[in-house]
Structure 1
Amino acid sequence: MLRSCAKLIRGGVALCNHPTILQTNSRVPRHFSISRPHNASEFRDYGLPNASWSQKLQDLFNNFQELSKKGSWKRIPSYNSTVHHMGEVPPSEKRERRLFTRNLDKDGVGFEYTMFYNKAEKRTVCLFQSGPYLEGPPGFTHGGCIATIIDSTAGAGVLYSYGPVMTANLNINYRNPIPLGHTVIVDSKVEKTEGRKVYATCHIRSHDDKVIHTEATALFIKLNP
């Protein structure tokens, strides 16, 4: 897997800074790379760092990797053609369909993220960086994209705790906008279960824990076997 990443780097990945002019005349850097289209016949773990990741995203990834070595956390592999799973090897079947958050062939322009799961705490953390294709208000991440990453993070935690589920309800309070290119922490935890119902909470905070961007509650329904 690491050899595949090394090949991409040697093949030439252009790192660009595309500043966004906000209404306040401040400049927010958009970090993204333009890479060669990914070969659909190969499997790539998109939860691993690439050249578009900011230093803040890379640092948080390294911190959770260290926690993973202690056994409390486990990184969730993420491939473009399947949902997230805890397996150690790529999926065996190829599909034309793609996971919604992994549907682009350019690094850095859309959802850049990696997830870690804590089984004992029934908690999932997603380290997320939004690319320029996720813009809503000028210079900021679209609210629908924020809802997507919340649903994906909370849903992943419930899935690995209780098995297959579907989202039944998602309530979101947007506190502070997320500038494009910024690294945030999406933190979700299972709170309780009632029969087939699984309740979870989720909040998004800045990489330094100083700003709460979003708060949410979610209800998932366990699927019949």
Structure 2
Amino acid sequence: MLRSCASRLRTPGALRGRLGGAPPPARDSRPPPRSFSSEVIYVDHSLPNPSWSKDMRLLFDQFMKKTEDGSWKRLPSHKSVSPQRTEEVKTFFPDAKPIKEHMSQAQLFPRSLEEGLGFEYAMFHNHVENRTVCIFQGGPYLQGVPGFLHGGAIATMIDSTVGMCAVLAEGVVMTANLNINFRRPIPLCSVVVINSQLDKVEGRKLFVSCNVRSVDEKTLYSEATSLFVKLDPKKSLT
């Protein structure tokens, strides 16, 4: 998410130039300003921050305890895809020519809002069980019906969680189908647990299911099934 440090990095001078519109000197010996993305893009945003509620911190600590024996692993989360990952995906889209300026500003959607206002989450993965769990706190900018989380926001996190489960199992994949049954609305700013499981693999097809429950696991908010397709490097998608 766009953290508070971002506002300090993007000073008015950096965004608009010098006050009064005076042209810059012909030669400037000072080093160029560091780009916003190079400063904060690879900060791990899945770590606790002041906006996290007591329930969010408690769940995080519980899962961190599970990582001590190696059965679970916490998954770092950044604002953008790493250059290595970008190049890996490019092999499947050889004809795609994204505009460089757009790519320099690109951020992952779930990490694009200010700290505490949107998607606050952390993911953990169990390789042996092929499970990925996401603890998620939806901020006030994700409201749908007054007082409740927007359905599209929880769909985003479901897709992100089951997608991560598929990626960790088979590599580069794309969502082919996502079917969600919304059982109950999720109160705004509450914490839920998204539990995903790789059910089966058929050739290049991966079937992943998940459920969204309250912290005490007593309330079922949503259930989902999904189909992902592992991309074939020999076949271009464009």
TM-score (norm 2): 0.74
The residue matched to 2:6 in structure 1 has which SS? coil
Distance in 1, Cα, partners of 2:193 & 2:165:
15
Q: CA RMSD in A?
A: 1.8
Q: Deviations over 1:26-56 (max 9, x none)?
A: xxxxxxxx83426432231110000000010
User: Which residue, out of 137, 140, 150, partners 1:132?
Assistant: 140
Distance in 2, Cα, partners of 1:109 & 1:36:
15
Q: Deviations over 1:98-140 (max 9, x none)?
A: 1110012x21100000000000011000000000110100010
Q: Deviations over 1:36-91 (max 9, x none)?
A: 426432231110000000010000000000100111100010000127x9xxxxxx
1:79 and 2:48 aligned: no
Q: What amino acid does structure 1 have at the position aligned with 2:68? A: K
Whether the aligned pair in 2 keeps the contact of 1:188 and 1:200 (CA below 8 Å) is yes
Answer 1 or 2: which has greater strand percent: 1
Distance in 1, Cα, partners of 2:116 & 2:225:
28
Distance in 1, Cα, partners of 2:207 & 2:225:
7
Distance in 1, Cα, partners of 2:50 & 2:4:
9
The residue matched to 1:188 in structure 2 has which SS? strand
Report which of the two structures shows the higher radius of gyration computed on alpha carbons.
2
User: Which residue, out of 165, 174, 178, partners 2:186?
Assistant: 178
Distance in 2, Cα, partners of 1:55 & 1:82:
30
TM-score (norm 1): 0.78
1:208 and 2:177 aligned: no
Whether the aligned pair in 2 keeps the contact of 1:117 and 1:124 (CA below 8 Å) is yes
**Structure 1 unaligned spans of 5+:** 1-33, 86-93
Question: Identity over aligned residues, as a percent?
Answer: 52
**CA-CA distance at 1:161 after TM superposition:** 0.9
**CA-CA distance at 1:96 after TM superposition:** 2.4
Residue matched to 1:99: 108
Whether the aligned pair in 2 keeps the contact of 1:187 and 1:204 (CA below 8 Å) is yes
Residue matched to 1:4: none
**Structure 2 unaligned spans of 5+:** 10-35, 85-102, 234-238
1:35 and 2:44 aligned: no
Residue matched to 1:59: 58
Residue matched to 1:112: 120
Aligned length: 183
Residue matched to 1:17: none
Write the mapping of 1:147-158 to structure 2, written as runs, cut at 5 A. 147-158=155-166
Answer 1 or 2: which has greater helix percent: 2
